[in-house]
Amino acid sequence: MKFICSRDRLTEAISIVQKAVSTRSTLSILDGILIDVTDKGVQLTGYDLETGIEAQLDADALESGSVVINSKLFGEIVRKLPEEEVIIETDERLLISIISGSSVFSIKGLSAEGYPKIPEVKDAEKIIIMQGILKDMIRQTIFAVSTDESRPTLNGCLFSCDGTNVEMVAIDGFRLALRKQQMGMDLPIMKFIVPGKALHEVGRILGGKDTELIVYSSVNHILFDTGKVRIVSRLIQGEYMNYKSILPKTGETNMTVSPGAMLSAIERASLIILSEDRRCPVQLSMPNDETLVISASTELGTLREEVPVRISGELIDIDFNPRYFIDALRVIDDGDISVQFNGSNGPCIMKPLEEEDFAYLVLPLRR
Amino acid sequence: MKFICSRDRLTEAISIVQKAVSTRSTLSILDGILIDVTDKGVQLTGYDLETGIEAQLDADALESGSVVINSKLFGEIVRKLPEEEVIIETDERLLISIISGSSVFSIKGLSAEGYPKIPEVKDAEKIIIMQGILKDMIRQTIFAVSTDESRPTLNGCLFSCDGTNVEMVAIDGFRLALRKQQMGMDLPIMKFIVPGKALHEVGRILGGKDTELIVYSSVNHILFDTGKVRIVSRLIQGEYMNYKSILPKTGETNMTVSPGAMLSAIERASLIILSEDRRCPVQLSMPNDETLVISASTELGTLREEVPVRISGELIDIDFNPRYFIDALRVIDDGDISVQFNGSNGPCIMKPLEEEDFAYLVLPLRR
């Protein structure tokens, strides 16, 4: 195996596939990156048996072959090489030479035969989507994915398509984030649950608004293909929670507020709420229909702050976990939002005022 | 106690004095910052019983008094305040109000009576030195301060003045860093050992080349005074190692090299040397008088690299802990350096070629 490539491109490709390299694995081959040189080019692979990432590398492929190299060491070495041109080759004992300028590294490799195969996504349905749109959809839902392993279906986002709209939903038992996107095309009908970790990595590699991405899904796997990078993940099996019945259509109290003003006040309140203690709420109250009072009180002290709002309907007092408001307010890009309350113990819905694409439901803490 | 000040200046003053706030203390008052308002102004203090930092704050002092507030919470709150103007006041129950815009925090304070007094530096000798010069002197020696607590005098830098020159020295048993500065003034003769931690904090607050700093020393304490900020530290008592006899005057092998080229080659070598294992050396060898070969070999693999040099005298092979070369090469600013070797087991001296202000001695690893 032998190829010549650019240090900076190789560094970039390594850092992409490293995201799927297991750091806690006990199998040393899974700590590695698979390097594959064929007549089609050079490909790097990282795979932790759940998420696999393959990156194509612009390189001069001089001799076919493959080898596995320790991911961390490979990344550190390449980043520090003295010259932009890098030559990488293996000998028959799997010793990997990394040559740049007068620097010659020889690193022990492992046989590619022992490296697990990333599943092929066969008999797949496909959707073409702009990278920027999918990136936003992930950003606006992923924070509500549950980490509670006792309900595995909630450890991913439900990704569904009804033929013309794509929808992503995440629920953790206390809140729900929903993002719709009108596609206006004739799309296949699909519904599957993508693990949060895979979506997190997809969100990181996605680029600009004007670049396409193809999503393929089979019964058990999903493949996100940007052309240069492919991310494969297993799907979570099981029936997702029937969330449509949870979302109330109207609210008893309707409030309009600037998300930035509400976010910074709740962030200040969270400073005096011990983060581990979910029982300490941020308290919202409405002395009149133009004022929201945000307050918090713990053994450290108190905060009281007023935010200008417009309220119609009943004026109520209600308690929340500040984290749940902060996560959602951070992903609303601009414009005022509407917050609908349903009494002090009912669910609260947050939506951008001007669009119907995003909705966020959060349950209050009972008084 | 009451004063009005700017959020950004207060944030800055808090972050300066926080460096001296103990983070592992079991006395909760030492987790705090002392706020003192007098008719002279507002002062913040952090003190971990070894290093104390006082910062003057530009503020409108409206009512004298003092209080102690939890350092971490105070810093987080002030940084997040909504408006640039901040009002801080205490009531008779030591409840501290922090008011900015419509935000009103009330935080429980502690009585300033329980806060330890920072020692006064009495009957002091003094030296005036440019901040930029002292900052460089600290940077070029502090990395060689020993952390081995069994030899307390080596846990600090020796700071001495012979009347016209100031000198700083640090030794950790394997290496020595020495920085001289000609002052050309009539200075007091002084010699004392400053703890590494205090010097580290002094290095962080020092500013530009054209600003003065006054250093006061008494028998037991040292005070660095920039006008705005004062850092007080205890001195380390005891006799410092007699290092003048250690420094060889000449070398059996003299090498001239670019510090940047040598640094990056040794950094690459260190990638394959397990950092915890001091027995794994970086190996230097000299196949001819124009080439230095830097190599390393561990169970991970090998590196071999050539650096262009000019050598006079005996061509030798010698082994070093790469860390010791990296630390010194990083603080040499520019120009080539001279490296003097004394056989494979003798001390090696590194100096800038063009100046006599800095010298670094390192012991090789025995073969």
Indicate the pLDDT class of residue B275, thresholds 50, 70 and 90. low
pLDDT score of B9: 97
Q: Which residues on chain B are in Cβ contact (under 8 Å) with A272?
A: 73, 77, 105, 107
Whether residues B301 and A107 touch (CB distance < 8 A) is answered with yes
Nearest CB partner across the interface for A305, out of B104, B108, B301: B104
Contact B203, B138 (CB under 8 A): yes
Closest listed residue to residue A195, CA positions, set A230, A226, A224, A234: A234
pLDDT score of A277: 59
Q: Which residues on chain B are in Cβ contact (under 8 Å) with A268?
A: 77, 80-82, 103, 105
Please list the residues that pair with B178 across neighbouring strands: B169, B359
Tokens of residue A109, six digits: 């490799």
Measured between its terminal Cα atoms, the distance across chain A in Å is: 67
- Answer whether residue B355 shows pLDDT above 90: no
Find the helix or strand (DSSP H, E) in which A348 lies: strand A348-352
- Answer whether residue A276 shows pLDDT above 60: no
A124 close contact with B: CB closer than 8 A? no
Contact B116, B150 (CB under 8 A): no
Strand order in the sheet with B310-313: B190-195, B156-161, B165-171, B175-182, B358-362, B348-352, B337-341, B253-257, B310-313
% of chain A beyond a pLDDT of 90:
86
Tens of pLDDT, residues B161-205: 999 999 999 999 899 999 999 988 788 999 999 999 999 999 999
Closest listed residue to residue B37, CA positions, set B8, B57, B11, B9: B57
Q: In whole angstroms, give the CA distance from residue B53 to residue B233.
A: 9
Whether residues B106 and A301 touch (CB distance < 8 A) is answered with yes
Tens of pLDDT, residues A311-349: 999 999 999 999 999 999 999 977 899 999 999 999 999
Closest listed residue to residue B96, CA positions, set B53, B118, B65: B65
Q: How far is B210 from chain A (nearest CA, A)?
A: 36
A73 close contact with B: CB closer than 8 A? yes
Average pLDDT over chain A reads 93
By CA distance, what is B102's nearest residue in A?
Answer: A305
B301 close contact with A: CB closer than 8 A? yes
Please state, as a whole number, how many other Cβ atoms lie within 10 Å of the Cβ of residue A219: 11
pLDDT score of A2: 98
Instruction: Compute the average pLDDT of residues A151-179.
Output: 95
Contact A68, A94 (CB under 8 A): no
Contact B156, B193 (CB under 8 A): yes
Tens of pLDDT, residues A166-219: 999 999 989 999 999 998 778 899 999 999 999 999 999 998 778 999 999 999
By CA distance, what is A74's nearest residue in B?
Answer: B271
% of chain A beyond a pLDDT of 70:
98
Q: Which residues on chain B are in Cβ contact (under 8 Å) with A265?
A: 82, 103
- Report the Cα B225 to chain-centroid distance in Å: 16
Tens of pLDDT, residues A290-304: 999 999 999 889 999
Q: Which residues on chain B are in Cβ contact (under 8 Å) with A104?
A: 303-305
Residues in CB range of B120: below 8 A, 6 or more apart: none
Whether residues B80 and A265 touch (CB distance < 8 A) is answered with no
Please list the residues that pair with A171 across neighbouring strands: A176
Query: With a threshold of 0.80, does the pTM exceed it?
Result: yes
pLDDT score of A91: 95
Nearest CB partner across the interface for B302, out of A82, A106, A304: A106
pLDDT score of B186: 85
pLDDT score of B207: 83
Q: In whole angstroms, give the CA distance from residue B253 to residue B318.
A: 11
Tens of pLDDT, residues A31-88: 999 999 999 999 999 999 999 999 999 999 999 999 999 999 999 999 999 999 999 9
% of chain B beyond a pLDDT of 90:
86
pLDDT score of B277: 59
B219 close contact with A: CB closer than 8 A? no
Q: Which residues on chain B are in Cβ contact (under 8 Å) with A94?
A: none
Nearest CB partner across the interface for A102, out of B70, B95, B305: B305
ipTM of predicted assembly, 2 dp? 0.88
- Answer whether residue B209 shows pLDDT above 80: no
Mutation target to probe the A interface, by most A beta carbons within 10 A, among B271, B304, B307 is: B271
